[in-house]
């Protein structure tokens, strides 16, 4: 099975699981047809605290992935976690090693003769986030706001590297659909 098919199959399984968990009663929406009545606004008190930033746990190459994807990887003969991926990226001068240098992870699963899927996660300061996003935009990547922050994608359909910048963290995956599953798993596990 090719890495693209594996990533697509994994994404499909997670989407299917999410769809089967939906309740039919959540499909409708309520539209207010009368004018709202005035309600008093809350006055902040000394006990009102600003929201704390989300703190994600330290992840490993295995714990960052949803169980359904890990199960699929384990069922694919010869599809293993590549221990030399960080060293190969460092030798190439890739910015991906920043994930490890910032205290995070950078991982790749694949077979002996073929790279599969790669991904990374680490904390990132606001200044470093701005610098990484600027470097990616300079390389032609485009930005789109989403529920988690800013999604940065390569418009070249043959190079599907995708980044997600969130409040204090950034994620990377060699496939956009795979990245979605990784980010959703990270935030659902918090």
Cβ(108)–Cβ(118) below 8 Å: yes
Domain presence at residue 82: yes
Domain presence at residue 71: yes
Question: With a cut of 70, which residues of the chain have pLDDT below it?
Answer: 1-54, 190
Domain presence at residue 104: yes
The pLDDT score that the predictor gives to residue 157 is: 86
Residue written as token pair 């600027």: 134
The pLDDT score that the predictor gives to residue 114 is: 85
Distance CA 158, CA 94 (A): 18
Domain presence at residue 75: yes
Domain presence at residue 32: no
Number of domains in the chain: 1
Tokens encoding 92: 């190439």
The pLDDT score that the predictor gives to residue 54 is: 62
The pLDDT score that the predictor gives to residue 112 is: 84
Domain presence at residue 96: yes
The pLDDT score that the predictor gives to residue 142 is: 97
The pLDDT score that the predictor gives to residue 56 is: 80
Give the three-class secondary structure for 149: strand
Tell me the whole-structure pTM to 2 decimals: 0.71
The pLDDT score that the predictor gives to residue 96 is: 95
pLDDT in tens, 146-159: 999 999 999 998 88
Domain presence at residue 34: no
pLDDT in tens, 172-189: 999 999 999 999 999 887
**Residue 121 is part of which domain span?**
56-188
Q: What is the dihedral of CA 173, 176, 179, 184, to 10 degrees?
A: 170
Domain presence at residue 40: no
The pLDDT score that the predictor gives to residue 53 is: 55
């Amino acid at each position: 099975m090719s890495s693209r098919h594996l990533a697509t199959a994994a994404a499909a399984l997670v989407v299917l699981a999410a769809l089967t968990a939906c309740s039919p009663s959540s499909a409708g929406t309520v539209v207010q047809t009368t004018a709202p009545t005035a309600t008093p606004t809350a006055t902040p008190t000394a006990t009102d605290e600003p929201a704390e930033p989300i703190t994600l746990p330290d992840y490993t190459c295995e714990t960052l992935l949803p169980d359904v994807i890990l199960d699929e990887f384990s069922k694919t003969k010869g599809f293993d976690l590549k221990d030399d991926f960080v060293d190969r990226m460092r030798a190439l001068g890739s910015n991906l090693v920043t994930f490890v240098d910032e205290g995070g992870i950078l991982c790749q699963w694949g077979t002996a003769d073929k790279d599969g899927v790669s991904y990374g996660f680490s904390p990132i300061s606001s200044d470093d986030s701005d610098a990484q996003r600027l470097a990616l935009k300079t390389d032609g990547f485009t930005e789109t706001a989403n529920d988690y922050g800013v999604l940065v994608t390569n418009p070249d359909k043959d190079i599907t590297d995708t980044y997600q910048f969130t409040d204090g963290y950034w994620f990377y995956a060699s496939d956009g659909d795979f990245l979605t599953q990784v980010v959703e798993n990270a935030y659902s596990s918090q």
